[in-house]
Amino acid sequence: MVVFFCCYSCFHSNSFAEMIKRKQVEPTGQVVWDVATKKKMIALTFDDGPSPTYTPQVLALLKEYNAHATFFQVGDKMERFPYIVRQVVQGGHELGNHSMTHPYENKAGLERMRLEISQADRIIQKYQPNRTKWFRPPGGYIDNALLQEAVKQGYKVVLWSYHQELKDWSMPGAQVMANHVIRNARNGDIILLHDGGGNRSQTIQALKIILPALKQKGYQFVSVSELMESKE
Ligand SMILES: [Zn+2]
Protein backbone atom coordinates (compact mmCIF):
# COMPACT_ATOMS: atom_id res chain seq x y z
CA MET A 1 0.00 0.00 0.00
CA VAL A 2 1.31 3.43 -0.86
CA VAL A 3 0.36 6.13 1.58
CA PHE A 4 1.08 9.74 0.79
CA PHE A 5 1.58 12.19 3.61
CA CYS A 6 1.35 15.81 2.68
CA CYS A 7 2.28 17.37 5.99
CA TYR A 8 3.00 17.09 9.70
CA SER A 9 -0.62 16.71 10.62
CA CYS A 10 -0.80 13.39 8.84
CA PHE A 11 1.56 11.94 11.40
CA HIS A 12 -1.00 11.04 14.01
CA SER A 13 -3.68 10.01 11.55
CA ASN A 14 -2.45 6.47 12.25
CA SER A 15 -2.66 5.52 8.60
CA PHE A 16 1.04 4.80 8.37
CA ALA A 17 1.32 1.21 9.52
CA GLU A 18 4.99 1.37 10.42
CA MET A 19 4.73 4.37 12.71
CA ILE A 20 5.78 4.02 16.31
CA LYS A 21 2.92 3.48 18.74
CA ARG A 22 2.72 5.95 21.59
CA LYS A 23 1.47 3.42 24.13
CA GLN A 24 4.41 1.13 23.39
CA VAL A 25 7.26 3.60 23.25
CA GLU A 26 6.30 6.36 25.68
CA PRO A 27 7.07 4.23 28.78
CA THR A 28 10.62 3.63 27.49
CA GLY A 29 11.36 7.37 27.77
CA GLN A 30 12.84 7.33 24.28
CA VAL A 31 10.05 9.46 22.83
CA VAL A 32 8.35 12.47 24.37
CA TRP A 33 5.01 13.96 23.32
CA ASP A 34 4.35 16.02 26.43
CA VAL A 35 5.37 15.88 30.06
CA ALA A 36 3.42 15.12 33.23
CA THR A 37 4.25 17.92 35.63
CA LYS A 38 2.55 19.90 38.37
CA LYS A 39 4.54 22.97 37.37
CA LYS A 40 2.95 25.53 35.09
CA MET A 41 5.54 25.05 32.39
CA ILE A 42 5.14 24.87 28.62
CA ALA A 43 7.83 24.15 26.04
CA LEU A 44 7.61 26.07 22.79
CA THR A 45 9.52 24.38 19.98
CA PHE A 46 10.47 25.94 16.65
CA ASP A 47 11.23 23.78 13.62
CA ASP A 48 12.84 24.24 10.20
CA GLY A 49 15.06 27.24 11.02
CA PRO A 50 17.34 29.00 11.28
CA SER A 51 15.76 31.75 9.21
CA PRO A 52 17.38 35.19 8.93
CA THR A 53 13.88 36.67 8.59
CA TYR A 54 11.87 34.97 11.32
CA THR A 55 14.26 33.49 13.89
CA PRO A 56 15.46 36.92 15.16
CA GLN A 57 11.81 37.99 15.54
CA VAL A 58 11.06 34.89 17.58
CA LEU A 59 14.16 35.48 19.71
CA ALA A 60 13.17 39.09 20.44
CA LEU A 61 9.71 38.01 21.58
CA LEU A 62 11.05 35.19 23.74
CA LYS A 63 13.46 37.61 25.41
CA GLU A 64 10.65 40.04 26.16
CA TYR A 65 8.82 37.32 28.12
CA ASN A 66 11.86 35.68 29.75
CA ALA A 67 11.08 32.58 27.74
CA HIS A 68 13.39 29.71 26.78
CA ALA A 69 12.60 27.46 23.84
CA THR A 70 13.99 24.57 21.83
CA PHE A 71 14.88 25.10 18.17
CA PHE A 72 14.88 21.99 15.97
CA GLN A 73 17.11 23.29 13.24
CA VAL A 74 18.06 21.89 9.86
CA GLY A 75 21.81 21.28 9.42
CA ASP A 76 22.28 22.78 5.97
CA LYS A 77 20.55 25.98 7.10
CA MET A 78 22.74 26.08 10.20
CA GLU A 79 25.72 26.05 7.86
CA ARG A 80 24.23 28.90 5.81
CA PHE A 81 23.22 31.07 8.76
CA PRO A 82 25.70 30.38 11.58
CA TYR A 83 25.21 33.89 13.01
CA ILE A 84 21.54 33.10 13.60
CA VAL A 85 22.42 29.84 15.35
CA ARG A 86 24.77 31.76 17.62
CA GLN A 87 21.97 34.20 18.48
CA VAL A 88 19.75 31.27 19.47
CA VAL A 89 22.39 29.75 21.74
CA GLN A 90 23.38 33.12 23.23
CA GLY A 91 19.71 33.74 24.05
CA GLY A 92 19.83 30.76 26.43
CA HIS A 93 17.83 28.51 24.11
CA GLU A 94 18.41 24.91 23.19
CA LEU A 95 19.19 23.38 19.81
CA GLY A 96 17.60 20.15 18.62
CA ASN A 97 18.42 17.97 15.62
CA HIS A 98 15.95 18.16 12.74
CA SER A 99 18.23 16.35 10.25
CA MET A 100 20.64 17.79 7.69
CA THR A 101 18.33 18.47 4.72
CA HIS A 102 14.82 17.69 6.04
CA PRO A 103 13.93 14.52 4.10
CA TYR A 104 10.96 12.42 5.15
CA GLU A 105 11.91 8.98 6.38
CA ASN A 106 9.17 7.23 4.44
CA LYS A 107 10.82 8.45 1.24
CA ALA A 108 14.48 8.71 2.23
CA GLY A 109 14.91 5.38 4.02
CA LEU A 110 16.89 4.47 7.11
CA GLU A 111 20.43 4.64 5.69
CA ARG A 112 19.95 8.21 4.54
CA MET A 113 18.34 9.18 7.85
CA ARG A 114 21.31 7.73 9.74
CA LEU A 115 23.61 10.15 7.91
CA GLU A 116 21.15 13.01 8.17
CA ILE A 117 21.15 12.71 11.96
CA SER A 118 24.92 12.28 12.33
CA GLN A 119 25.81 15.15 9.98
CA ALA A 120 23.46 17.56 11.75
CA ASP A 121 24.76 16.29 15.09
CA ARG A 122 28.32 17.30 14.20
CA ILE A 123 27.16 20.86 13.58
CA ILE A 124 25.05 21.06 16.74
CA GLN A 125 27.92 19.77 18.89
CA LYS A 126 30.01 22.78 17.83
CA TYR A 127 27.46 25.14 19.35
CA GLN A 128 26.11 23.08 22.17
CA PRO A 129 28.42 20.31 23.38
CA ASN A 130 27.53 17.91 26.19
CA ARG A 131 23.82 18.59 26.35
CA THR A 132 20.87 16.27 26.10
CA LYS A 133 20.39 15.33 22.46
CA TRP A 134 16.87 15.84 21.13
CA PHE A 135 15.81 14.70 17.66
CA ARG A 136 12.59 15.64 15.94
CA PRO A 137 12.05 13.64 12.74
CA PRO A 138 11.12 15.77 9.71
CA GLY A 139 7.39 15.61 9.12
CA GLY A 140 7.06 13.54 12.30
CA TYR A 141 7.77 10.39 10.29
CA ILE A 142 9.31 7.82 12.58
CA ASP A 143 9.16 4.06 12.71
CA ASN A 144 10.87 1.75 15.19
CA ALA A 145 14.00 1.40 13.04
CA LEU A 146 14.56 5.18 12.91
CA LEU A 147 13.82 5.46 16.62
CA GLN A 148 16.46 2.85 17.39
CA GLU A 149 18.93 4.63 15.11
CA ALA A 150 18.32 7.93 16.88
CA VAL A 151 18.78 6.22 20.26
CA LYS A 152 22.02 4.60 19.01
CA GLN A 153 23.32 8.07 18.18
CA GLY A 154 22.54 9.23 21.72
CA TYR A 155 19.25 10.94 20.95
CA LYS A 156 15.81 11.05 22.47
CA VAL A 157 12.92 11.84 20.15
CA VAL A 158 10.62 14.80 20.75
CA LEU A 159 7.25 14.96 19.03
CA TRP A 160 4.55 17.34 20.29
CA SER A 161 1.26 17.63 22.22
CA TYR A 162 -1.51 16.58 19.87
CA HIS A 163 -4.08 18.70 21.68
CA GLN A 164 -1.92 21.67 20.71
CA GLU A 165 -1.65 20.81 17.03
CA LEU A 166 -1.67 24.16 15.22
CA LYS A 167 -0.44 23.48 11.69
CA ASP A 168 1.02 26.98 11.71
CA TRP A 169 2.61 26.24 8.30
CA SER A 170 -0.91 26.19 6.80
CA MET A 171 -1.46 29.77 8.02
CA PRO A 172 -4.88 29.36 9.64
CA GLY A 173 -4.70 32.88 11.12
CA ALA A 174 -2.71 34.22 14.06
CA GLN A 175 -5.75 34.77 16.27
CA VAL A 176 -7.11 31.28 15.52
CA MET A 177 -3.81 29.70 16.53
CA ALA A 178 -3.45 31.86 19.62
CA ASN A 179 -7.00 31.07 20.79
CA HIS A 180 -6.33 27.36 20.34
CA VAL A 181 -3.12 27.40 22.38
CA ILE A 182 -4.54 29.57 25.16
CA ARG A 183 -7.76 27.56 25.46
CA ASN A 184 -5.98 24.19 25.49
CA ALA A 185 -2.92 25.08 27.57
CA ARG A 186 -1.95 22.41 30.10
CA ASN A 187 1.10 21.91 32.26
CA GLY A 188 3.80 20.10 30.33
CA ASP A 189 2.62 20.94 26.82
CA ILE A 190 5.13 20.77 24.00
CA ILE A 191 3.95 23.08 21.24
CA LEU A 192 5.14 22.74 17.66
CA LEU A 193 5.74 25.97 15.75
CA HIS A 194 7.91 26.89 12.77
CA ASP A 195 10.44 29.70 12.45
CA GLY A 196 11.71 28.59 9.04
CA GLY A 197 10.71 26.85 5.83
CA GLY A 198 8.15 29.36 4.56
CA ASN A 199 6.16 32.45 5.43
CA ARG A 200 6.01 32.40 9.23
CA SER A 201 4.53 35.86 9.74
CA GLN A 202 1.34 34.41 11.29
CA THR A 203 3.41 32.39 13.73
CA ILE A 204 5.13 35.59 14.86
CA GLN A 205 1.78 37.37 15.24
CA ALA A 206 0.34 34.42 17.17
CA LEU A 207 3.31 34.46 19.56
CA LYS A 208 2.61 38.11 20.30
CA ILE A 209 -0.79 37.03 21.62
CA ILE A 210 0.17 33.69 23.19
CA LEU A 211 3.16 34.81 25.24
CA PRO A 212 1.47 37.57 27.29
CA ALA A 213 -1.80 35.63 27.67
CA LEU A 214 -0.17 32.47 29.05
CA LYS A 215 2.26 34.46 31.17
CA GLN A 216 -0.74 36.12 32.76
CA LYS A 217 -2.17 32.67 33.48
CA GLY A 218 1.04 31.88 35.36
CA TYR A 219 2.81 29.78 32.74
CA GLN A 220 6.55 29.79 32.30
CA PHE A 221 8.09 29.01 28.91
CA VAL A 222 10.98 26.59 29.06
CA SER A 223 13.15 24.42 26.82
CA VAL A 224 12.35 20.73 26.41
CA SER A 225 15.28 19.90 28.72
CA GLU A 226 13.97 22.21 31.42
CA LEU A 227 10.47 20.76 31.02
CA MET A 228 11.85 17.23 31.42
CA GLU A 229 13.53 18.23 34.69
CA SER A 230 10.09 19.07 36.09
CA LYS A 231 8.67 15.64 35.19
CA GLU A 232 6.74 13.95 37.97
ZN1 LIG B 1 10.37 20.19 9.82
Helices 201-216 + 55-64 axis angle, to 10: 10
For the stretch 205-210, contacts whose Cβ atoms lie closer than 8 Å and that sit 24 or more positions apart, written own/partner, are 205/174, 206/166, 206/168, 206/174, 206/175, 206/177, 206/178, 206/181, 207/44, 207/58, 207/61, 208/61, 208/174, 209/174, 209/175, 209/178, 209/182, 210/177, 210/178, 210/181, 210/182
Query: What structural domains does the chain harbor?
Result: 33-229 (3.20.20.370)
In the chain the first and final C-alpha atoms are separated, in Å, by 41
- CA 138 / ligand 1 centre spacing (Å): 4
Answer whether 96's CB lies under 8 Å from 71's CB. Answer: yes
Catalytic residue among 47, 48, 121, 168: 47
The packing angle between helices 144-152 and 110-127, to 10°, is: 30
**pLDDT tens sequence across 142-201:** 999 999 999 999 999 999 999 999 999 999 999 999 999 999 999 999 999 999 999 999
Look at residue 4 in the predicted model and tell me its pLDDT.
40
Tens-digit pLDDT profile for residues 70-119: 999 999 999 999 999 999 999 999 999 999 999 998 889 999 999 999 99
Among the listed residues 34, 98, 194, 195, the single catalytic one is 194
This prediction has a pTM of 0.92
Would you call 47 a catalytic residue per the annotation? yes
| 194 has catalytic annotation | yes
